[in-house]
Amino acid sequence: MSGGFTIAAEDGGARAGTITTAHGPILTPAFAPVASQGSVKALTHRQVEELGAQLILANSYHLFLRPGTETIRALGGLHKFISWPKPILTDSGGFQIYSLSPLAKVRRDGVAFASHLDGTKLFLTPEAVVDIQVALGSDIMMALDVFAPYPSSEEKTEEAVATTTRWAARAREHVRRVETAGRLWGITQGGVDGELRKRSTAELAELDFDGYAVGGLGIGEPKSKLFEMLELSHAILPRTKSRYLMGMGYIADILEAVERGVDLFDCVLPTRNARTGSLFTSRGPISIKNQKYAKDERPLDPDCGCTTCRNFSRAYLRHLYERKEIASAVLNTIHNLHFYLDIFAKIRQSIQFHSFQNLKSSILDTLKDGSP
């Protein structure tokens, strides 16, 4: 075991393993439902757990602003505050700072930004971001990074790589000085520049993090370049450390990433799409708002065993959506998360039985128009 990760089986580049945390194991490849504010939208945590989720992702930026790190610490930490007994991964908040606050400015020591809530000026260092996540009681903490949007110049991408490495080293050194059961993961950068991606990956590997995220991807670059960067990362990252592709949610892309050695994923896609009536099924996507489902008595997915599919018709789900009933978001989210988590269970099993390629081909055959 290294960095709290063990590999149980491999099938080509695909790996099945276990990430060990203070709040229990995570069998990989795994998918983390997004709970930015400490809640998976439309569901209780008991429902999320019953669906088979092994961990959730919370957003340290949002929680830092509201209700505040000290409030959560005083109430027993994030697990107790939100009543979630399993592992929690918190991101560094870097992406949210850059995307939500156009006035964010990267300095040598950290990032200065204005709160998107009230404009309050704030400054976060790599050390402060570690401290926030330690106070939350995160099981997996992410180091503060800088990403270059796609497309970016070589100069801007190189600057992001240099800053990310410098901040990563500071975060790695700082976490050694604090008391925490959480594990700190580094985030590689480099955009789709092969040489810079290799440089960033090698520099962070040298820092010996407990796990690694491949950052700065899935933001508009060609899919061929995304997969090329994953292959470069696969060749450099330590084999015995977990790998995480941040924000990747399309099933076809997830399968390609698993084939290239990625162990962990998160995305808002299944939950956000559920709330807009876009549902994933074993026979392709369904837009439940479509008029043709108004009198359709069939279950959403006849091959699905979730509560929604066992009990309700497409006609009823359309009715709920059209009437803007809260139950629409609940039932749709139950189904979409079940769909994702069930696929991940099948992926893990297929790697164990060395049949991942067969599963991949079978799933891709059901996808239509590039949708999951």
Residues serving a catalytic function are 91, 266
Find residue 242's DSSP bridge partners.
211
Amino acid in position 252 = A
CA distance 184 to 290: 45
The residue behind tokens 């809640």 is: 39
